[in-house]
């Protein structure tokens, strides 16, 4: 157990205890609902009085995430703290940890929110990664190009998500422009993978060291944003088991308490390469909300509250489809009218381009996840539209 956590009891929280959640987005919203189901009260620290989490919480503290007065007041009003997104200060979690347990810890957040720290940690833990190099200046930029070859990806170390904060470099003439366009420095250069697919594993670890893994999901993206997750991922059983073992190894090395999303690439030869980690519930785990008796949010709250972790059973196969921006939300009436669609809306007011507004789960009997055509048929109004731009009239 980390030094900050060891000062507090690891005993299970009693019913009506207060779970503090830093962040007011949809992950906080669904965590708050899970907390209520388990008999806890959710207290949200947010800057948005009408954000997704605030709409369903027992209590809300409005304040900046670096406001120590607000942080102290929040921490004194809760029994344990967790967080629903990573773009907050680890120093803020350290401040909170003076008053109550913080799960996962600020030390884990420091690793996961910085790509350079994350890759260094994973490399030192012998976790397989795509080739990478730190890029601190023009000399290391050109050294990365020489080592990794073209094309490669240049990424910011912080605040990159949904395809933001990165640039593909296809040739030497693009090096300097790519370096100048991304800030702040340093950056991380990643070699291109002979990519077959992306999967993700949700792993949870309790205060007693018990670990549980959900089945890997297969992810596909649109415009850099997760579009669809298939669960279980249609990969060989041996590959799924290796992916879960990697996720458990990372969770144990981190001394995690809570849930962790581990994104991985599978290359053309079947090798697994970890892409990134996220110590919180994850978009690619939303399928568990309807396909599992205990979903990712229930498991996360159980872990941070010190409750026993049940097996991660799955009673159905599932397809999760994100609802993004105004185009998908324009289909909301049709989604509601489509048999078999299980809708989850996040309560956001404005359907901006690229903004995740909700998701839909579609269930299939255990072991009967259909192929691509069957999935498109099940998606109904949300299915990919055929490209008719070049069709002959």
Question: Is 99 annotated among the ligand-binding residues?
Answer: no
DSSP 85: -
Per the structure block, which two tokens stand in for 129? 């990664």
Task: Confirm whether residue 30 is marked as ligand binding.
Answer: no
Q: Is 276 annotated as belonging to a binding site?
A: yes
Any binding-site annotation on 147? no
Alpha-carbon span 271 to 246, nearest angstrom: 12
Q: Which two tokens stand for residue 262?
A: 């581990």
Q: Smallest Cα–Cα separation from 172: which of 146, 201, 137, 135? A: 146
Selection from 379, 104, 382 nearest residue 254 by Cα: 104
Copy the structure tokens of residue 122.
């994973």
CA distance 271 to 268: 7
202 is in an annotated binding site: no
Spell out where 283-370 has E strands.
316-324, 341-345, 356-365
Residue 275 marked as a ligand binder? yes
Cα(206)–Cα(178) distance, rounded to whole angstroms? 42
253 is in an annotated binding site: no
Q: Is 335 annotated as a binding residue?
A: no
Kindly give, in sequence order, each residue whose CB lies less than 8 Å from that of residue 31, ignoring residues fewer than 6 positions away: 19, 21, 42, 53, 82, 84, 281, 297, 300, 301
Q: Is 198 assigned a ligand-binding role in the annotation?
A: yes
Contact 241, 248 (CB under 8 A): no
Among the listed residues 345, 348, 383, the one whose alpha carbon sits nearest the alpha carbon of residue 227: 383
Confirm if 279 and 121 have CB atoms less than 8 A apart. Answer: no
By the 10 Å C-beta count (0-12 exposed, 13-18 middle, 19+ buried), 45 is classed as buried
Rounded to whole angstroms, the Cα distance separating 15 from 8 reads 18
Query: How would you write 249-304 as a 3-class SS string?
Result: HHHHHHCCCEEEEEEEEEECCCCEEEEEEECCCCHHHCCHHHHCCCCHHHHHHHHH
**163 marked as part of a ligand binding site:** yes
To the question of whether residue 192 is assigned a binding role by annotation, the answer is yes
Q: Give the residue numbers of the binding site.
A: 115, 155, 160-166, 190-193, 198, 221, 275-276
| Residues placed in the known binding site for ATP | 115, 155, 160-166, 190-193, 198, 221, 275-276
């Amino acid at each position: 157990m980390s030094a900050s956590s060891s000062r507090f009891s690891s005993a299970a929280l009693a019913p009506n205890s207060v779970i503090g959640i830093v962040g007011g987005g949809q992950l906080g919203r669904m965590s708050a609902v899970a907390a209520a189901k388990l008999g806890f009260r959710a207290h949200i620290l947010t800057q948005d009085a009408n954000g997704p989490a605030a709409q369903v919480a027992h209590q809300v503290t409005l304040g900046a995430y670096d406001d120590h007065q607000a942080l102290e007041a929040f921490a004194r009003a809760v029994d344990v703290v967790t967080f629903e997104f990573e773009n907050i200060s680890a120093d803020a979690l350290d401040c909170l940890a003076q008053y109550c347990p913080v799960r996962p810890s600020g030390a884990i957040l420091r690793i996961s929110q910085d790509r350079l720290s994350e890759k260094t940690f994973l490399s030192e833990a012998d976790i397989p990664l795509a080739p990478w190099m730190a890029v601190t200046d023009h000399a290391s930029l050109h050294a990365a190009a020489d080592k990794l070859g073209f094309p490669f990806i240049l990424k910011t170390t912080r605040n990159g998500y949904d395809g933001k904060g990165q640039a593909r470099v296809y040739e030497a003439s693009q090096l300097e422009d790519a370096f100048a366009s991304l800030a702040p420095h340093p950056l991380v250069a990643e070699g291109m993978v002979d990519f077959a697919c992306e999967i993700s594993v949700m792993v949870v670890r309790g205060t007693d060291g018990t670990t549980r893994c959900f089945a890997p999901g297969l992810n596909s993206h649109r415009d850099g944003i997760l579009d669809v997750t298939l669960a279980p991922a249609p990969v060989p059983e041996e590959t799924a088991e290796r992916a879960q073992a990697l996720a458990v190894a990372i969770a144990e090395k981190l001394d995690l308490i809570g849930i962790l999303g581990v994104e991985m690439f599978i290359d053309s030869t079947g090798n697994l390469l970890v892409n990134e980690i996220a110590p919180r519930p994850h978009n690619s785990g939303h399928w568990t909300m309807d396909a599992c008796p205990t979903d990712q949010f229930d498991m996360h709250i159980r872990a941070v509250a010190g409750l026993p972790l049940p097996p991660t059973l799955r009673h159905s196969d599932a397809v999760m489809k994100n609802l993004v921006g105004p185009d998908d939300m324009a289909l909301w009436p049709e989604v509601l009218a489509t048999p078999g669609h299980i809708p989850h809306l996040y309560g956001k007011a404005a359907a901006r381009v690229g903004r995740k507004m909700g998701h839909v789960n579609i269930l299939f009997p255990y072991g009967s996840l259909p192929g691509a055509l069957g999935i498109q048929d099940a998606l109904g109004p949300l299915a990919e539209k055929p490209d008719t731009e070049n069709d002959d009239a």
